[in-house]
C-alpha cells in the first residue's frame, strides 16, 4: 500500500539514515538534491563540443567534477574563455580543453582567462590543457601542445673565408606546427612561450674538397642573440672537423629566438652551405612549454 509523507526535516537517533536494500530514493525535480548547498545533477562530468568561440559559465561546472570541451582551429582561430576564478562550482571542478582536429594555416586554439590573458595554446589533434583553480588562480595540472618546425635551406649560401654567417637564403618547410619560424625577415625560430627547445641541425658543405662550412647556433634576446654553439676553428686551407651535425637542448623565454649559422673553417677561401633539397642543410626544432 503506497503512503505519502509530508516532512520538512528527517531526524534520527543515530548518525546515519539508511535507505533499505532494494529501495530507491527518487528525486523528481532536477537539482532538487543538494549536498552542502550545492545541487547534485546527473553525471559527474560535462562533455561539450564547441564550433565557435565560447565562454565557460557557472552552469557548465556546477555540481560537476570535470568539464571537457572539444574544439579546434581547423578553419579559423578558436578561443575558449575561462570563467572568473570565484565562479560558483569551480572549487571542485577540473576543466579540460582538447583539440579534436588539427589547426590549419596560421590558426590556433587558445584558452584565455576572464581578463583575456593567454593561458594555453594548442594546434594538433590531441593537444590539451587541464586546469584547476587553486589559491584564487588558474593552475595547469597537465598539458600537451605540438610545437615543431623542420626546414631545409632553400638555396646554397656562400660563406666568406673564416666568417661566421647566419643562413638567410630562405628555408623550405618540411613540417610545421605552431608557426614558430620567421622565414621572411630574421630567419629564426621565435619562442611562442617559455620552454625547452630541442634542436637538431645539419650543415652540408657545398665544396667537395677542403670543406669548411660547419654548424653554429645563436639563441637568446631578439635582435642580439648570443652564440651558443660554433663547431669550427678557422685556419688556412682548413678542413672540416666533422661537426656538421649537431643536437642541443636550450631553455629559453617567450619571444627569445634561435638562429642558424655556419662557420667557414677556411681562412683562405670561400665555402658554402649547400641548399635546395631535403638532404641538404636542414634543422628541426621541438618546443616543450614550461609554466
List the chain pLDDT tens, one digit each, 291 residues: 566 777 777 777 777 888 788 787 777 776 666 666 656 655 589 999 999 999 999 999 998 999 999 999 999 999 999 999 999 999 899 999 999 999 999 999 999 999 999 999 999 999 999 999 999 999 999 999 999 999 999 999 999 988 999 999 999 999 999 999 999 999 999 999 999 999 999 998 886 655 678 889 999 999 999 999 887 766 665 555 444 678 999 999 999 999 999 998 888 888 899 999 999 999 999 999 999
Q: With H, G, I as helix, E, B as strand and everything else as coil, classify residue 96.
A: strand
pTM for the full model? Answer: 0.81
Q: With H, G, I as helix, E, B as strand and everything else as coil, classify residue 163.
A: coil
CB 44 within 8 A of CB 71: no
pLDDT, residue 242, reads 43
Q: Which three cell numbers stand for residue 94?
A: 577540473
Q: Which three cell numbers stand for residue 5?
A: 509523507
Q: Look at the alpha carbons of 166, 170, 176, 181 in this order and tell me if their dihedral is positive or negative.
A: positive
Residues 166 and 260 in one domain: yes
Residues 153 and 279 in one domain: yes
| Terminal CA-CA length for the chain | 63
CB 187 within 8 A of CB 170: yes
Is position 40 within any domain? yes
Q: Which of 113, 129, 130 is nearest to 121 (CA)?
A: 129
Residues 6+ apart with CB under 8 A from 142: 128, 129, 130
pLDDT, residue 241, reads 47
Is position 106 within any domain? yes
Residues 95 and 169 in one domain: no
Is position 42 within any domain? yes
Residues 127 and 159 in one domain: no
pLDDT, residue 85, reads 97
Give the domain range for residue 96: 34-144
CB 218 within 8 A of CB 229: no
Backbone angles phi, psi at 90, to 5 degrees: -70, -25
Backbone angles phi, psi at 259, to 5 degrees: -120, 150
Q: With H, G, I as helix, E, B as strand and everything else as coil, classify residue 274.
A: coil
Is position 87 within any domain? yes
Residues 285 and 162 in one domain: yes
Q: Which three cell numbers stand for residue 247?
A: 643536437
Residues 139 and 185 in one domain: no
Q: Which element (helix H / strand E) includes 60?
A: helix 58-61
Q: Which of 52, 49, 46, 88 is nearest to 73 (CA)?
A: 52
pLDDT, residue 239, reads 56
Distance CA 264, CA 185 (A): 24
Which of 126, 144, 162 finishes a domain?
Answer: 144
Region of 96 on the Ramachandran plot (φ > 0 left; ψ -120 to 50 alpha; else beta): beta
Is position 20 within any domain? no
- Measured CA distances, 102 to 105, 106, 145, 213, 214 (Å): 10, 11, 11, 38, 36
Which of 109, 144, 179 finishes a domain?
Answer: 144
Q: Which element (helix H / strand E) includes 137?
A: strand 137-144
Residues 154 and 278 in one domain: yes
Assign residue 212 the CATH number of its domain. Answer: 2.60.120.40
Assign residue 54 the CATH number of its domain. Answer: 2.60.120.1230
Backbone angles phi, psi at 149, to 5 degrees: -140, 130
**Domain tally for the chain?**
2
Q: With H, G, I as helix, E, B as strand and everything else as coil, classify residue 58.
A: helix
Amino acid at each position: 500500500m503506497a503512503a505519502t509523507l509530508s516532512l520538512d526535516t528527517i531526524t534520527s537517533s543515530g548518525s546515519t539514515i539508511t535507505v533499505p536494500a532494494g529501495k530507491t530514493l527518487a528525486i523528481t525535480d532536477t537539482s532538487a538534491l543538494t549536498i552542502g548547498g550545492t545541487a547534485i545533477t546527473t553525471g559527474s562530468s560535462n562533455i561539450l563540443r564547441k564550433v565557435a568561440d565560447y565562454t565557460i559559465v557557472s552552469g557548465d561546472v556546477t555540481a560537476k567534477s570535470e568539464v571537457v570541451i572539444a574544439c579546434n582551429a581547423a578553419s579559423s582561430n578558436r578561443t575558449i574563455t575561462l570563467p572568473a576564478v570565484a565562479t560558483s562550482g569551480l572549487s571542485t571542478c577540473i576543466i579540460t580543453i582538447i583539440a579534436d582536429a588539427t589547426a590549419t594555416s596560421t590558426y590556433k586554439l587558445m584558452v584565455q582567462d576572464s581578463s583575456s590573458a593567454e593561458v594555453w595554446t594548442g594546434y594538433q589533434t590531441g593537444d590539451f590543457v587541464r586546469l584547476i583553480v587553486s589559491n584564487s588562480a588558474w593552475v595547469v595540472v597537465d598539458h600537451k601542445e605540438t610545437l615543431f618546425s623542420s626546414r631545409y635551406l632553400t638555396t646554397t649560401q656562400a660563406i666568406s673565408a673564416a666568417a661566421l654567417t647566419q643562413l638567410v637564403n630562405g628555408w623550405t618547410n618540411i613540417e610545421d606546427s605552431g608557426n614558430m619560424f620567421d622565414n621572411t625577415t630574421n630567419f629564426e625560430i621565435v619562442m611562442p612561450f617559455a620552454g625547452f627547445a630541442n634542436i637538431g641541425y645539419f650543415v652540408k658543405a657545398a665544396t667537395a674538397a677542403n670543406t669548411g662550412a660547419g654548424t653554429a647556433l645563436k639563441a637568446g634576446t631578439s635582435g642580439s642573440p648570443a652564440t651558443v654553439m660554433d663547431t669550427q676553428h678557422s685556419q688556412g686551407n682548413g678542413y672540416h672537423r666533422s661537426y656538421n651535425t649537431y643536437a642541443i637542448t636550450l631553455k629559453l623565454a617567450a619571444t627569445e629566438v634561435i638562429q642558424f649559422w655556419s662557420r667557414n673553417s677556411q681562412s683562405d677561401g670561400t665555402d658554402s652551405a649547400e641548399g635546395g633539397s631535403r638532404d641538404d642543410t636542414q634543422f628541426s626544432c621541438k618546443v616543450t612549454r614550461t609554466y
